[in-house]
Amino acid sequence: MRCTVVGTTASVCVALAACGGGSGGSSQPAGADPPARLPGGLEPRPANATCVAPSRSAGGADVELERVFAGLVFTQPLGMLQAPGDPSRWFVLEKGGRVRVFANRPDVASFSPDFITVNVNPASEGGLLGMVFHPDFADTGEVFLSFTEGSPMVSTVARFRSLDGGATLEPTTRENVIRVNQPFTNHNGGHMAFGPDGYLYIGFGDGGSGGDPRGYAQNTRNLLGALLRLDVDGGAPYAIPPDNPFAGGAFCSADPDVAVGNCPEIYAWGLRNPWRWSFDRQTGALWAGDVGQNTREEVDVVELGGNYGWNCREGALPYPSPAPACSAAGPLIEPVHDYDRGQGASITGGYVYRGRAIPGLAGAYVFGDFGSGRIWRLIDDGGGYRVELLLDTDLGIASFAEDVDGELYVVNLSGTLHKIVAGDSGPTASPVAARLSETGCVNPQAPSEPAAGLVPYSVAAPFWSDGAAKERWLALPDGTAIAVGADGDFALPSGSVLMKHFRLGDALVETRLLMRHPDGGWAGYTYEWNAAQTDAVLVEGGKTATIGSTQWIFPSGAECLVCHTAAAGYSLGLEAAQLNHDRLYPGTGRTANQLRTLDHILLFTTPHGDPASQPRLPDPFDPAEPLEPRARAYLHTNCANCHRPGGAGAALDLRFATALESTGACDAVPQAGDLGLGANARIVAPGRPDDSVLLARMSRRDAHGMPPLASSAADEDGIALVRDWIAALSACR
């Protein structure tokens, strides 16, 4: 796949094959005259009775995920909570700065007046990041908000009060508690909670410094990369709990580069980006999910005075570019669990389950991953911890939530809320066949050939896949059709399957299937071809194999959904502009426009129209096409699955149709480090390729390269194309 990602924690583009998505569509009603269609390369539509996505396991034996409050839709929700002892209402934080309020009724269809709206800087990983009620909210009316504001960005924790009996917060009552200047706009942390000791705990990330030799997280003379503990009732704006590790010193500066002494606010340190953490309501233990750099995600049980290793270690492994402070860091506390990028890409911390509705979950720590959508439980075995997969979802898990009864909820960044509920025991095995020849998607006598019901397609601007040649097919259940959105993205019905062959030289290496299962969820499956080229075997969990001179990476199913998300429409190649070109259809010997062909065989819910009047993507490597559209098409294919509104890399919008000055990349200061390029570094520096971080990341395959997963070789042709384009730019318009 051809993919470049710049900037954010969760900005991970993975070299995957056919994965797709969207909502289902229907064919013409029975008895109706079909609309006029234009002739194309196939005739008629092939029947498909065999290559249909099967029902799948929920991924766990005792829980299910149930959408709740379906009458409400939110804009980038990041958190969900109830006031202490009050189950009558829910409060939902939206990234843009608004706190929505609604009654705790299953059929609720409208919001109460907003609790409060604050002005925030939502760039990258900024926005309204945390909220907590004072434990005595019913008496004090106090609520604390954590948000980023200003430019340059500043993380702020402020106290607000309600003047109307708790219905809303009054913005004019704002009192700043603590402020921290952010060197970049990512790794802000921002979560807060009151501990059982009555103190306010605040988590801040390392400020986006990554492998920066300043190593903020290992430097206890600044507030970044640390968990703070403040007595907000004992002083103005706070007092220091007497047993904090560095109690007795002067309050620390908001500027992380201005240091006097160890910060008395610090409770624990060595954290990269603590994204959601909580106290076990029974034991008081503090459980945290700490987001990794490029290889490991970790779960920590945070203790007073603990150093959790970043950036000397990432998870349980040494970090390749340690800060100078590592040699004197002292004992480092290991995570209780960590996992690699085969399981996910951005951990979201959760809660120890103390509810009553799911007895089998009692005492387990439940957490998830924003990138893969997976939800696990971590169980204390007495001598260590055992992890079990509970659910494999297609949600962007921004947060977990706990109601006053201890039941757990999931906040989906795409705008929906869900509850973890008891489910029926069921199988956890893969729902697809162990051999490609048994899937119904290929000819069982000759598995290199597609089944008769599959429709071939090709894209104008293909992904970079480490030099592999690819063939693609689409399979729809009989009687269904594709809806096409206003942006040209295809919305495939449930039961759809996308299949892709990968070849190195003349040999088949891998075949990937992406299925939209009957429950509407998407999942990816990959098959490894045997040496005799007679069949391929299902690979579960991913693997890497040496094939000739290539280190070939077979992605896991979880990796597929890292980039193939709702924001990208799941099917990254199936969009009108990608298919708006001619191709040869081997079955008929005709060469025809693909959109015209799909229209002709009734694969669209409504007539698509004349392709000549519709947008098209150029082939990035066709010298007959102009340079700028070719480079933008390359970035669209390889980057825009993450870098688009609502995506993991939403700080940039690298879609082909977005004007260059609106992408957030042109002449923009990098927010995740300059990779040593210096003060003149820009994400895209017009006329200066060597100052362009985007190009530098494309050229690397280390911890700072993009894509960080599923690709072992840089795309030299793509690098040359983007270099030529940047060199030719004179401005951002």
- What band does 61 get if pLDDT is binned at 50, 70 and 90? very low
pLDDT of res. 425: 54
For 80, phi then psi, to 5°, come to: -150, 130
Residue with more model confidence, 121 or 27: 121
pLDDT of res. 17: 29
- What band does 712 get if pLDDT is binned at 50, 70 and 90? confident
Amino acid at 487: D
- What band does 523 get if pLDDT is binned at 50, 70 and 90? confident
627-639 vs 716-728: helix crossing angle, rounded to 10: 130
Q: Which of 24-38, 49-63, 109-123 has the lowest mean pLDDT?
A: 24-38
Q: What are the tokens at 562?
A: 């890292």
pLDDT of res. 181: 95
Amino acid at 172: T
Check: CB of residue 223 under 8 Å from CB of residue 246.
Answer: no
Q: What is the mean pLDDT of residues 650-672?
A: 89
For residue 379, give Cα distances in angstroms to 281, 284, 291, 419. Answer: 16, 17, 20, 20
**pLDDT tens, residue by residue, 204-261:** 999 886 555 567 999 999 999 999 999 999 999 999 999 999 999 999 999 998 888 9
pLDDT of res. 501: 97
- What band does 382 get if pLDDT is binned at 50, 70 and 90? low
- pLDDT surpassing 60 at residue 35: no
- What band does 429 get if pLDDT is binned at 50, 70 and 90? low
Residue with tokens 């019913």: 138
Other C-beta atoms lying within 10 Å of the C-beta of residue 624? 7
- pLDDT surpassing 80 at residue 114: yes
Q: What are the tokens at 597?
A: 């062909």
pLDDT of res. 4: 31
Strands (E), 413-464: 416-422, 442-443, 446-450, 455-457
Q: What are the tokens at 304?
A: 């007073």
- b/e for 438-449, b at 16 or more Cβ within 10 A? ebbbbeeeebbe
Q: What is the mean pLDDT of residues 540-564?
A: 81
pTM over 0.85: no
Helix (H) / strand (E) element for 639: namely: helix 627-639
pLDDT of res. 272: 95
- What band does 706 get if pLDDT is binned at 50, 70 and 90? confident
Q: Which of 410-419, 424-433, 683-692 has the lowest mean pLDDT?
A: 424-433
Check: CB of residue 103 under 8 Å from CB of residue 88.
Answer: yes
Q: What is the mean pLDDT of residues 681-694?
A: 95
pLDDT of res. 320: 77
Helix (H) / strand (E) element for 629: namely: helix 627-639
- pLDDT surpassing 50 at residue 275: yes
pLDDT above 70 covers a percentage of the chain that reads 89
pLDDT of res. 326: 80
Q: What are the tokens at 248?
A: 């007795």
Q: What is the mean pLDDT of residues 20-35?
A: 36
- pLDDT surpassing 80 at residue 672: no
Rg (CA), the chain: 26
Strand pairing report for 98-103 and 582-585: unpaired
Per-chain mean pLDDT for the chain: 88
For 694, phi then psi, to 5°, come to: -55, -45
Q: What are the tokens at 5?
A: 């990602």
Other C-beta atoms lying within 10 Å of the C-beta of residue 563? 31
Check: CB of residue 109 under 8 Å from CB of residue 71.
Answer: yes
- What band does 607 get if pLDDT is binned at 50, 70 and 90? confident
- pLDDT surpassing 90 at residue 519: no
pLDDT of res. 662: 94
- What band does 56 get if pLDDT is binned at 50, 70 and 90? low
Q: What are the tokens at 663?
A: 């992408």
pLDDT of res. 33: 45
Q: What is the mean pLDDT of residues 72-88?
A: 96
- pLDDT surpassing 70 at residue 66: yes
For 369, phi then psi, to 5°, come to: -135, 125
Q: What is the mean pLDDT of residues 170-196?
A: 95
pLDDT of res. 34: 45
Question: Per mean pLDDT, which of 151-165, 519-533, 692-706 is the most reliable?
Answer: 151-165
**pLDDT tens, residue by residue, 462-493:** 999 999 999 999 999 999 999 998 889 999 99
d(CA 81, CA 364): 20
pLDDT of res. 184: 87
Amino acid at 4: T
Residue with tokens 């921004």: 398
C-alpha 467: how far from chain center: 26
Q: What is the mean pLDDT of residues 498-526?
A: 92
* 552 closest CA partner among 509, 511, 512: 509
- What band does 383 get if pLDDT is binned at 50, 70 and 90? low
Amino acid at 383: G
- pLDDT surpassing 50 at residue 15: no
For residue 410, give Cα distances in angstroms to 129, 167, 280, 579. Answer: 16, 24, 17, 36
Please name the residues in contact with 41: beta carbons below 8 A apart, sequence gap of 6 or more: 583, 584, 585, 588, 590, 591, 592, 594, 597
Q: Calculate the CA dihedral of residues 622, 625, 626, 629 and round it to 10 degrees.
A: -80
- What band does 23 get if pLDDT is binned at 50, 70 and 90? very low
Domain residue spans of the chain: 25-54+431-728
Check: CB of residue 466 under 8 Å from CB of residue 712.
Answer: yes
Asked whether the CA dihedral 313, 318, 321, 324 is positive or negative, the reply is: positive
Angular region, 209: left φ>0, alpha ψ -120 to 50, beta rest: alpha
Other C-beta atoms lying within 10 Å of the C-beta of residue 695? 24
Residue with tokens 């969900």: 80
d(CA 62, CA 424): 6
